[in-house]
Structure 1
Amino acid sequence: MANILDKISTVADIKKLDSEELNSLCAEIRNCILTKVSKVGGHLGPNLGIIELTVALHYVFNSPSDKFVWDVSHQAYAHKILTGRKEAFQFEDKYKTVTGFTSHRESEHDFFTVGHTSTSVSLASGLAKARDIKGTKENIVAIIGDGSLSGGEAFEGLDNVAEFKSNFITIVNDNEMSIAENHGGIYGNLALLRKTKGTAETNLFKALGFKYVYIEEGNNVNVLIEELQKIKDIQEPIVVHVHTQKGKGYSYAENYRERFHWTPPFDIETGNPLGQNSTETYKRVVINHITDKIHEDNRIVVINAAVPGALDLVQFRENHPEKYFDVGIAEEHAIAFSSGLASQGMKPIAFFPSTFIQRAYDQISQDLCINSNPAVIMVENAGISGADVTHLGMFDIPMMSNIPNLVYLAPANKEEVTAMIDWALEQTDFPVALRISASSIKELKSKLSLKYELNKFEKVTEGSKVAIIGVGNFFSLGEEVAEQLKKKGITPTLINPRFITGSDEELLTSLLENHDTVVTLEDGVVNGGFGEKIASFFGPTSMKVFNYGAQKEFTDAVPLDQLYKKYHLTPEQIVEDILK
């Protein structure tokens, strides 16, 4: 049979296919996704499992008039292939022409740029209400799955749209998994509904007020089309609960569902990662040290919001299940849960990627910091990066450093990581967060003191004229700048601030005696960050202050070396600025 995908120029072409051709189309899409992800990495399991459902949705509905909103959108690869972007999955030289998530800048079939979880129902509710006000009749379809129902916004959205008196279709893609294993009572009800083929009397969605349909054969495109045609144009909110196989069609992804949720490049024949970096990471340093500490202190527990693989917690989870709590995709709950534990003398350590910690701002401020409960927060994968626009980890410093009572620490090397963990666990006065860099481990030329006093910076080398303050992993950049300045006849003072949240006014004041320039370096956005606090301190004085870091902007998969040059973060650029 001829290549079916070649026949698909627009989504309207899907409707011309017969049953056999639809199945061939699904197979071709599956091969495209598997081949591309094996070469460049990406979300594999979620996308392999939803291909038939995606084809059926586009066969039955009329996108973009009918509107699809994909939760997280790491299940949207097949959707992209069918909506004019197939070449980005067929040809290796075009792999990077589309993002890994839906993007309203890429296609009229994408209504939002989305990469965080539990958002689809709420976003789609706005589309539905706008439709009702305008008096149009299109279908609004929110697709949600892979653990997103455990996020608070998903419940808020469902709770609200259950009262709508018009068309609203929620597709629950139930592949029996979150990113890792499911956690939370809602998944017990999903399992019961699967077991009873949707007939169980206990039904969360019916309890909320939804009409409910269960589809067992979620990877049968013909069954899906038949069932979806029955509910198209429905004039009340409905939940369509679809049982699918995560990783469908690739045995390794079917059998190792957590491992292949997101994967780096891998060998298709063996499933093994390609070019795996065996070097030690900051994440591994953190986990190894905490593992040692729990043998000394029974009060230490680890909390994670559904992403153990991304935070290198899988081995810890398996070896210490009694000390590990996965709360699902619920960052707000994780913080409040930690605060409650800390209030009772426990020593909770809560792990978050920097890009997700922002979801818990209110709980950090209200539930944790107002109460000054000494929980410990690990903010991982932090820093300027070449990540997708939805997964940038450079906005945490302005957020975390402006909440009262919170102490935010910036370790400059792995020795400081472990020493700061010890300090955070031993003190009982404040909640403490550690900023764990996404960069490789830094081997410094300087020897750092590992003794800490609240908000006291460390003057590592004494100089004059120029003082360089390098925050966290950018202390090594400060060392490079200092070396180049020495070659120009300037011996600068080099400072490791250690504390992002406070200013060492005594040390800063002393710089006024024999310095005329202060340089701050931070691996994050400058606006509202550490450097601006230093500039504010020196505002009434004659001190000249240069703040280096990222601009306040959203970048989308821009290579890191390009960003460093754009932000003047190479040693040569910084030295040139100082000499001017």
Structure 2
Amino acid sequence: MSPASGLLSTLHSPQDLRALAPGQMEQLSAEIRRFLIENVSQTGGHLGPNLGVVELTIAMHRVFESPRDPFVFDTGHQSYVHKILTGRQGLFPTLRQRGGLAGYPSRAESEHDWVENSHASTALSYAEGLAKAKRLQGLPGTVVAFVGDGSLTGGMAWEALNNIAASDDLPLVVVVNDNGRSYTPTVGGLAKQLAALRTNPRYEQVLDVVKRSVSRAPIVGSAAYDILHGIKSGLKDVLAPQGMFSDLGLKYIGPIDGHDTAAVEQALQHARQYGGPVLVHALTHKGRGYAAAEMHEEDHFHAVGKINASTGQALVAATGQTWTDIFSTELVELGRRHENLVAVTAAMTYPTGLHRFQAAFPERTFDVGIAEQHAVTSAAGMAMGGLHPVIALYATFLNRAFDQVLLDVAMHRCGVTFVLDRAGVTGPDGASHHGMWDMSLLQLVPGLHLAAPRDGTRLREALGTAVTIDDAPSVVRYSKDAVPADLDAVDQVDGLDVLVRTEQPRVLVVGIGQLAGTAVAVGERLSDQGIGVTVVDPVWVLPVNPALVTLAGQHELVITVEDNGVVGGCGARLAQELRRAEVATPLREFGIAQEFLEHGSRAELLEDLGLTPQAIARYAVEAVLSHEPQPADAVGDVARSTPQE
């Protein structure tokens, strides 16, 4: 890893930054970019977004006094420069590793981090609430909401703006980092207005006028707006999207060159002195200062693994096909067979693998921006009109649209398929991004069909079935990992895939999704201990297969293994079905503890959670032996022989 050097090595807090001369900002920006490239290339992380906000973040810390002035980031992956400037430079070698620096703001790390929920379009609501708290309690300071990477395409952001504009004395500054992109180019009406500004040939002239006017104007308060708005009724009305914000009653400054620290500082000073809510519109370039990122058309190095800092090439070649790859390819084939199939995503065309479908069927692909609620209800409307929408989301983001799944899709018996990527423990992105809630939430939805395929073949089969279900919602979920080798069934019983069966089975192990492989390993360990076992994968976990209830009644113990929260998960639902059928077989659920998990690798976190063959087999052996009448010595001998890694 590369330690900080030059000016950067002298900075240990924002106070140190404010002591630097304005003429040193260009050098500092270059040093920060070099530090980011050299460090993030060795750990992986969100590189492109942070390269684009260097000057913006420097200016914010020079004008405002964090933590008295709370900074709220939306989205939180833009906070690396903020972490560098608030005393965490030395932790960057541990970025996104277990026990190390988080990839998003973390209240446990620093008093300078206020909000760590990193789902988009939330910062304005947090900030409005913080500003109200300051106003009501007479506390000093200004709340700064740093909004970018497509967050303004989310409806919640506009709900917040509507309320912010209604309070003309809120101590709140909204900084819009307008880089034209979320993961990929931002879509929607607002995005088109901003893009029109960004690509207008007179844009550079406007910036020059604003810069010259600002630098000559030692003014404060509302008078600043005559200058910063492009001479009030002149250039701004031609080029800037000021109208939509002023219609809300919100003061607007811009456009500002987001890579000119002096211009940004002066704009923020005027906004801070105004005394009410102000929106500062800054134009930036994602991946700024790193040729490999700037030339990467897909997402400007939005997120990278370990790469060569000089070339941007990946250091570790991808091993095996991912679940996303298989879905991406299979959906195109399904699209060819089903002309009514359409694809919907919320600003994640590439990350969810829909880019192949979009290339093949551009008129049948809809990216709605960061607007999951709209995506789901729009899909319900398309289903009512005779189409079959496939909505591709990260599992964690389905949480945001649960009401729409329940009442807009399921209640109307609409045939909409949800494909949930990054399900279960996702690893280095931390608590807000683990996909551990979806199967618990979906248990509540009447009539819903849910598949958790264990391998590539089962994924293709599940997708093929899901898109033919036209009278209820269907869900297919999988992890971000490489797909394991196909795990074929040794038998099938009324729709249940039997993966392991020994003589005189006493323990039934139910493996859900990718953890079916773990369930097989548990079964093998139990068999090695002389304990008869049956291992099954239901594939479709909702509705609960009656054959699974019957099979449970033929065993002494049932163990379920799932990559989901244990509260309300598949194991809990099966236990409920056993009670309803008056099946007395005890059941033990193994899944994700119902807590907010820290960041770390998937393997590390699964081990911490006890989701390993060793830990589960040990429990099963002890549970079975505890019900056998044996001499104490014999029990001890067998328990001590429990398999170890």
Per the normalisation by structure 1, the TM-score is 0.94
Deviations 1:149-192 (A, max 9, x none): 00111111111101112122111111122220121001122234
CA deviations on 1:244-274 (whole Å, 9 max, x unpaired) are 1211111222222514111112122222222
Structure showing greater Rg: 2
Partner of 1:297: 338
Aligned to 2:213: none
Can you list the C-alpha shifts for 1:538-576, whole angstroms capped at 9, x where unaligned?
A: 345431212111110111113333333333322222222
Residues 95/417 of structure 1: CA separation in 2 closer, same or farther (3 Å cut): closer
Q: Secondary structure at the match of 2:550?
A: helix
Identify the residue that residue 51 of structure 2 maps to in structure 1.
48
Question: Which residue pairs with 2:365 in the alignment?
Answer: 324
Distance 1:237 1:521, change over 3 A: same
Matched residue, 2:383: 342
Q: 1:437 aligns with which of 474, 479, 482?
A: 479
Q: Which amino acid aligns with 1:176?
A: G
Contact 1:69–1:123 (8 Å) recurs in 2: yes
Question: What is the CA distance between 1:127 and its match in structure 2?
Answer: 0.6
Moved more, 112-121 or 310-319: 310-319
Distance 1:228 1:318, change over 3 A: same
Q: Does 1:549 align with 2:591?
A: yes
The residue aligned with 2:187 is 183
Amino acid of the structure 2 residue aligned with 1:101:
Y
Shift of the 4–113 alpha-carbon distance from structure 1 to 2, 3 Å rule, reads: same
Match of 1:229 in 2: 269
> Which residue among 407, 424, 429 is the counterpart of 1:366?
407
- List runs of 5+ in structure 2 lacking aligned partners: 207-228, 230-235, 623-645
**1:521 pairs with 2:561:** yes
Matched, 1:311 2:352: yes
Alignment partner of 1:481 is 2:522: yes
Gaps of 5+ in 1: none
Question: 1:92-136 deviations in whole A, cap 9, x for unaligned?
Answer: 367853111111211111111131111111100011000111012
1:465 aligns with 2:506: yes
Whether 1:173 and 2:213 are equivalent positions in the alignment is: no
The secondary structure found in structure 1 opposite 2:121 is: coil
1:73 aligns with 2:76: yes
Give the alignment's Cα RMSD to 1 decimal.
2.1
1:565 is aligned to 2:607? yes
Q: Does 1:277 align with 2:318?
A: yes
Q: Is the 8 A contact 1:419 1:450 kept in 2?
A: no
In structure 2, C-alpha distance between the alignment counterparts of 1:233 and 1:468, rounded to whole Å:
65
Shift of 1:377: 0.7
Q: Distance in 2 between matches of 1:211 and 1:543?
A: 65
Distance 1:220 1:134 in 2: 36
Amino acid at match of 1:438: K
What one-letter code is carried by the residue in structure 2 that aligns with 1:85?
R
Match in the other structure for 2:536:
495
Aligned to 2:226: none
After superposition, the C-alpha distances for 1:350-397 in whole angstroms (9 at most, x for unaligned) are: 100112111111111111110111111101111223231221112211
Equivalent-residue separation in structure 2 for 1:221 and 1:278 (angstroms)? 42
Separation in structure 2 between the aligned mates of residue 359 and residue 409 of structure 1, nearest angstrom: 20
The alignment of Structure 1 onto Structure 2 pairs a total of residues equal to 573
Q: Secondary structure at the match of 1:441?
A: coil
User: Retained in 2: the 8 A contact 1:71–1:114?
Assistant: no
Mapped to 2, the partners of 1:427 and 1:561 lie a distance apart of 35
Q: Kindly provide the amino acid, as one letter, of the partner of residue 237 in structure 2.
A: A
Structure 1 residue 207 displacement after superposition: 1.3
Structure 2 distance, partners of 1:418, 1:327, is 26
How is 1:232-243 mapped onto 2 (pairs within 5 angstroms)?
232-243=272-283
Contact persistence 1:564–1:570 (CA under 8 A) = yes
Give the letter for the 1:235 counterpart: G
The 2-side partners of 1:348 and 1:525 are apart by 28
- Distance in structure 1 (CA, Å) of the matches to 2:255 and 2:490: 61
* Corresponding position of 2:113: 110
Offset of 1:74 from its aligned partner? 1.2
Q: Which amino acid aligns with 1:231?
A: A
Q: Give the match for residue 463 of structure 2.
A: 421
State the one-letter code of the partner of 1:255. M
Structure 2 residue aligned with 1:409: 451
SS of match in other structure, 1:367: helix
Distance 2:139 2:552 in 1: 66
Q: Distance in 1 between matches of 2:197 and 2:156?
A: 22
Residue 246 of structure 2: aligned partner: 206
Instruction: Mark the CA change 1:313 to 1:248 in structure 2 (over 3 Å): closer, same or farther.
Output: same
Report the Cα distance in structure 2 between the residues aligned to 1:67 and 1:461, rounded to whole angstroms: 56
| Residue among 34, 37, 43 paired with 2:37 | 34
CA drift of 1:445 comes to 4.7
Contact 2:332/2:360 (<8 A) preserved: no
Alpha-carbon separation, structure 2, partners of 1:93 and 1:211: 41
Partner of 2:394: 353
CA shift, 1:499, in A, is 2.2
Q: What residue is the counterpart of 2:219 in the other structure?
A: none
Contact 1:516 1:542 in 2 (8 A): no
Go from structure 1 to structure 2 and tell me whether the alpha carbon gap of 1:95 and 1:399 turns closer, same or farther (over 3 Å shift).
closer
Shift of 1:426: 2.0
Q: 1:22 aligns with which of 1, 12, 25?
A: 25
Q: Contact 1:406/1:431 (CA < 8 Å) preserved in 2?
A: yes
Structure 1: distance between partners of 2:283 and 2:548? 62
8 Å CA contact 1:193, 1:200 repeated in 2: no
Tell me which residue corresponds to 2:166.
Answer: 163
Offset at 1:448?
6.8
1:133 matches 2:170: no
Q: Aligned partners of 1:267, 1:461: CA distance in 2, in Å?
A: 45
Cα distance in 2 for residues equivalent to 1:572 and 1:417:
27
Cα contact 2:506–2:555 (8 A) shared by 1:
yes
